[in-house]
Structure 1
């Protein structure tokens, strides 16, 4: 019998977790809309339960002996863990020591609109040398993360995990690890901005990418993603800031037979990962922070911005944890070693593990638990929008119109809406909606997700109630596609 009371550790691999709780929980774990007091003065007068600060600035990242000079939060990549409980008031001060403006977006959390962190839409830039204090209530428990919404800063290492604990969590686990995946190129003779220029020039030179040999252009292809898997070329793929040739061993080590909970976050900018643990099957318990009916799989594909919680009963030994860069012939990896295993015992992290080609997770396999499944009314209106563009012009957009030119999607508070998003391009896109966690209708299980991978030629239906007023971004979470303009706004009307 595994019990939460036996949990010995929660953290980011080898480094200790940074838990910043300063008070007691104010709410149970029931899911609803944003639990923000209607009276702004009431919120302003309330003492925060969690107080934290982050410095966005230069950082030197050691990649197996090669030092990459880049950016990060408080001199670490990933940034230190932020942790709270559902219903608590969080206050985070961000100081900007970068040479350019920045912001923080709280990915997946349905907070008050003014704190969502999109410059020019919900707040002003945090200018160099300035600071800004975010203050909001976290309504829903789950695995989340935060990052800038400013240019290609995400691809420089500005990201950190944010875990919101659930007082009603029924996941039995003895030990827990947070696993942050990332694709890395900054500080290794190039920058994300240089890579964007290269990609754009490649599109101009090659013309129509559909008729070209992807391998000849350093492009990646994946049947699981419907073709083109990514545009950017990365020399490293990381787990918790560590590359394949300097892998992390998760500490403290679990005992043989322990039930391990993994909270997996894809903080990459252009890479989907196929994730598996050698010698083990995994039970998926949460998708994008929201609980699902547990389902056992060998592997799953996780797109940029997505999160999955899984459990596994670890066997004695040293086991490879592998994140295969889908279609890119590279990988990130780490080691899960039990306390009874010889410290010299190490798996071959470059070898293929059979689980990567085993039973893998599909959205249709995921069923929302009764606790979070939406009570959908009949006759919900549908709005149809299309993902458009291509590599030839690098003109990624919604309905052929880039951000700033696309007419906002309007909705009234309290209204139900179903967004039918059709991918008319030849590339997959991880689409993320701010401020809401829709239900995927049209699929058997109706899983709730804020970030959804849409394959070429496919349509995904996102259904939700407009219960969080404001101006909310809807965009592709490929950082390079977003920078090209693949975004629009969900706008509440009065």
Structure 2
């Protein structure tokens, strides 16, 4: 069956036919004067959502879409801290659906994960979500059924604080980033399983070598012997994706208005399926005031990387009567989207050229750079790795790369799904993120984030656990600790009320945005635990490790997964159980 037949059949089976060119909710329309009450802003104690099918078109590409109340992106839901909300979700699809309230602290049976917290919403059925609103900030919602999230089933949530908002602004815009492909996500996954680098059109070339843009020949030979590609930063790229701001591509030029001198709050959400973005506004500095819905001490920057499912609120203050570009560039530099902040409609900010695509290095393989620079290593990556792996040089030609060493991670099963283990992973919270290591302006790191107010649990952790992010990228197999969820992975068990230090170790050469449901955690990023920032998603850099302190305060079964949709679907997911002491898991 061809892709076109597959997509056409799925489309014709839908409940509606709607071309979405220009059919956006008010908050996402170009020329928005900022967030304000409008008929399609959903608020109050009773909200109704209908999940259906439509047709979406952008950048000359069009395909079947899954929409909420007929739009892509979905309507803005605006709530108030302290209220109780009832949200009725009607399913008009020919398949099950669901909604997960990303980052919201809800009872586990309202969390919206089929097979974990509820059965899902059957075709023709309506499910009522009802929960108290326990927090404020910028969040979002999306399907947790199949691959619907990649097909348009996502929208923003803003929760206003019960008291005064410590972030002062004159106007605010939601900036929802996403990726869009006319190819069905199941087809994307099938192609990647056939060839892991299917969408990587930026491999090294002879011309790149001669121009000095690619690795020297000896390093390239070493990486080739290890079956590793230093350009393999993203599985699905601009070769098939259109990158969007509020559903608009660069040519469609989403425009948010301002008056010169105003303090403008941008509520930036990465709702992509597979794309981490580097975000900047050339010539306009940003002040980060919130991360994952939680207020942080203001920090000035010129660019930051936003992992999939993260949110950042920033304040900008454009003073000149001119357009400013808002740029979200895919981390592999295979594409970008430009939106415009402007004092008037019709103004268009320039589109910068794509910057040179980055190359992964030894640190991204979990190799300690200081160790490698001693001992007279000649040659390139292969010899350095052979030394650091305890003299396992002959193994370098093996098709599995043979970075495997049971002494490094004895609890990780050695099977076909684990091709590499980082021999010397480092804490990379203070590192500039992938692709931003060498830019000549300020770049936000996790080490820059400080909580606005101290956390509520000042205890030292009761215990510590390590979780490895594992993969065989060549075979497109993804897992935690070498075991896919579908292969019977045991739940990660916590006792109610305990505080656990969790260390994520990335044994792959891609960054992974890891999300836990039902909880926030305190990201370990400096000497002062009282100011650890609270997050629900953390992007773990390649070959690195990152730690967070989790207080298991929510009884129930919770999803814990990589928020790269295809990675989660391929197995990088576990269930976290929280039970009272002595209760059965």
TM (norm. structure 1) is 0.83
Number of residue pairs matched by the alignment:
436
Identify which of 436, 442, 447 aligns with 2:519. 436
Contact 2:197 2:232 in 1 (8 A): no
Query: What residue in structure 1 maps to residue 9 of structure 2?
Result: none
Q: 2:525 & 2:341 partners in 1: Cα distance? A: 38
Q: 2:442 & 2:48 partners in 1: Cα distance? A: 42
Q: 1:59 & 1:215 partners in 2: Cα distance? A: 39
Partner of 2:568, secondary structure, is: helix
Does residue 286 of the first structure (1) align with residue 279 of the second (2)?
A: no
Q: For residues 26-59 of structure 1, what are the alpha-carbon distances to aligned partners after superposition, in whole Å with 9 as ceiling and x for unaligned?
A: xxxxxxxxxxxxxxxxxxxxxxxx2111111112
Larger Rg: 2
Query: What residue in structure 2 maps to residue 7 of structure 1?
Result: none
Partner of 1:182, secondary structure, is: strand
Query: What residue in structure 2 maps to residue 197 of structure 1?
Result: 190
Q: Which has the higher contact order (CA 8 A, sep 6+)?
A: 1
The 5 Å alignment of 1:211-250 reads: 214=203, 228-233=232-237, 234-250=240-256
Q: For residues 96-149 of structure 1, what are the alpha-carbon distances to aligned partners after superposition, in whole Å with 9 as ceiling and x for unaligned?
A: 112211111110111110000110110012111111111111211011001111
Q: 2:334 & 2:198 partners in 1: Cα distance? A: 24
CA RMSD of aligned residues (A): 2.4
Structure 1 gaps, min length 5: 1-9, 23-49
Identify which of 85, 88, 102 aligns with 1:107. 102
**Mean alpha-carbon deviation: is it higher for 86-95 or for 477-486?**
86-95
Q: 1:205 & 1:430 partners in 2: Cα distance? A: 22
Does residue 422 of the first structure (1) align with residue 505 of the second (2)?
A: yes
The 5 Å alignment of 1:95-494 reads: 95-166=90-161, 167-185=163-181, 188=182, 190-203=183-196, 214=203, 228-233=232-237, 234-250=240-256, 253-315=257-319, 316-339=321-344, 343-351=345-353, 358-370=441-453, 372-404=454-486, 405-444=488-527, 445-493=531-579, 494=583
**CA deviation after TM superposition for structure 1 residue 280, in Å:** 0.5
**CA deviation after TM superposition for structure 1 residue 168, in Å:** 3.0
Contact 1:390 1:426 in 2 (8 A): no
Q: 1:393 & 1:68 partners in 2: Cα distance? A: 28
Query: What residue in structure 2 maps to residue 38 of structure 1?
Result: none
**Mean alpha-carbon deviation: is it higher for 305-314 or for 69-78?**
69-78
Q: 1:351 & 1:69 partners in 2: Cα distance? A: 31
Contact 1:143 1:307 in 2 (8 A): yes
Q: For residues 440-486 of structure 1, what are the alpha-carbon distances to aligned partners after superposition, in whole Å with 9 as ceiling and x for unaligned?
A: 12435511111100012211112121111110111000000000010
**CA deviation after TM superposition for structure 1 residue 256, in Å:** 0.6
Partner of 2:119, secondary structure, is: coil
Q: 2:203 & 2:485 partners in 1: Cα distance? A: 28
Query: What residue in structure 1 maps to residue 42 of structure 2?
Result: 20
Q: 1:327 & 1:367 partners in 2: Cα distance? A: 28
Contact 2:89 2:126 in 1 (8 A): yes
Q: 1:11 & 1:70 partners in 2: Cα distance? A: 20
**Mean alpha-carbon deviation: is it higher for 399-408 or for 112-121?**
399-408
Query: What residue in structure 2 maps to residue 27 of structure 1?
Result: none
**CA deviation after TM superposition for structure 1 residue 352, in Å:** 6.3
Structure 2 gaps, min length 5: 1-25, 206-213, 215-229, 356-435
Q: 1:192 & 1:95 partners in 2: Cα distance? A: 23
Q: 2:83 & 2:231 partners in 1: Cα distance? A: 43
Partner of 2:196, secondary structure, is: helix
Q: 1:213 & 1:488 partners in 2: Cα distance? A: 33
Contact 1:374 1:439 in 2 (8 A): no
**CA deviation after TM superposition for structure 1 residue 329, in Å:** 2.5
Which structure shows the higher strand fraction?
Answer: 1
Q: 2:122 & 2:176 partners in 1: Cα distance? A: 28
Partner of 2:106, secondary structure, is: coil
Q: 2:300 & 2:176 partners in 1: Cα distance? A: 21
**CA deviation after TM superposition for structure 1 residue 227, in Å:** 6.3
Partner of 1:101, secondary structure, is: coil
**CA deviation after TM superposition for structure 1 residue 74, in Å:** 1.2
Partner of 1:481, secondary structure, is: helix
Partner of 2:477, secondary structure, is: coil
Q: 1:375 & 1:237 partners in 2: Cα distance? A: 40
